Chains A and B, each alone.
Chain A
């Protein structure tokens, strides 16, 4: 969680970290004495406050068992000890859980993109009986809290024989109303002339969607991908209900159980925690703009 790799969050920031440019006569800067804006005195400690728990997570994951179990505990590791990582990768089932989480998330992302695009496009551009009612029904399901559906969904999955398999995690996340609706809205905002020209040239609907519409829809597709990945990777409630056997755990469920069983092996628990958090963290730092846009787009239109 080093801060140095981070770029500007939104469009407003100019130069990132680096040597200070030669004193530019900025109109906004009128503080005497300080070589930098006074806001740093407020913002830097606040930002640090938010970062400290994550820094501590990283530090404690590389402490030795002796260091971490000292009283009072050490606040800084004496060196980089990889005992914790060795333990979770060797003795525990973290690699398996990682793979399970990856399978579930990747399938969910891919199928949300596919079914969301197909459904969203049909709702945006095709005329068929019942489309309005269906769309409204789908929208309405977004307001249904998960707690209301989780018990029957469990019973459905049990009847399908999927409980205790990754299938139970995959099936309910195959497509969300959010993906369908968001892509529909985006498709509606595209000019239809291009598609019409392609139809007249005799292109099939499917080809128009895949060769013309989807390449223009990158921002919306990335929003769907980002949010689907975030929610499936981070979910705990549903895996907790649908999975009993530890070979089928996701990382979130595995980490939680592992912590319950290894109260005293904190460095291993923290190493497992780093492994759980890292993919989302890397995805976020790598595609920060897309993340922020996804979250604000849902926020502001909600």
Chain B
């Protein structure tokens, strides 16, 4: 309920002022607590509140769009929306295609979820969402990786024994601990440079606006409060 009120508040604030520009924010809508669809089908979560606040500070009118994770970068580049705000870690590979703002969450550990806590990872099948830093990491280690299109399927693969463990952001896996005997392995991985918003390389001006807005939220501590509220990462 608290979340609903928060979203409604953010909505009423952002619609109360007339803005010149409409910015379309692309997200996945399937990665709680970062971004997900609430019971009424609206985008909600940490990034919803963050995005609305950033748009307010940058005096922009923002609209939310959901898109498949797989095609989220191609659709940004071809202009279907103007920014990616979808728990996307800043990596060198992605920076070849798009530009990122400064990170709005610090680099955070990725964790393993499995059915037992004595999994030998080098000999195991590890599930990860396709085209994520975790999938790339597992492949790099030379372990066996199975990729899935949505985060939900990666956890389901561990549940039904298709994979021995799943590697994903710790904050995404936290709510699953204890369900159906799922446990988190003590081993963590430090990958990625934190999460940022993605923009087209030609959109430097808009990126700068959001960069400033993120900086101002870092400075006045409101970003840390938001991170704590949604438990998505460690604080700055």
Question: Do chains A and B stick together as partners?
Answer: no
